């Protein structure tokens, strides 16, 4: 994967509210980028489409919920 993040359109979840402690996501040509909203020029994680789908499916099914 070779993504140019300089033109990425980053966004926060609508559930983030007004706090600054959020992650931002960008849909890229061949993956999905995730970065810390407090450090927009810092590093970003890049996931393949299948990795992103597995992650979001896990979220939807409560796989990462903690009691």
Each residue's pLDDT tens digit, 13-30:
777 766 667 889 999 999
Give me the mean pLDDT over the 28-53 stretch.
Answer: 94
- Percent of the chain exceeding pLDDT 70 equals 88
Cα–Cα dist 54/14, whole Å: 21
Please name which of 60, 11, 15 lies closest in space to residue 32, comparing C-alpha atoms. Answer: 11
Question: Is the dihedral angle over the CA atoms 25, 32, 56, 58 positive or is it negative?
Answer: negative
């Amino acid at each position: 994967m070779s993504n140019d993040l300089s033109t990425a359109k980053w966004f926060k979840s609508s559930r983030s509210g007004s706090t600054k402690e959020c992650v931002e996501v960008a849909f890229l040509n061949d993956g999905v980028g995730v970065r810390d909203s407090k450090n927009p020029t810092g590093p970003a994680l890049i996931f393949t489409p299948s990795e992103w789908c597995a992650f979001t499916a896990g979220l939807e099914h409560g796989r990462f919920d903690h009691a």
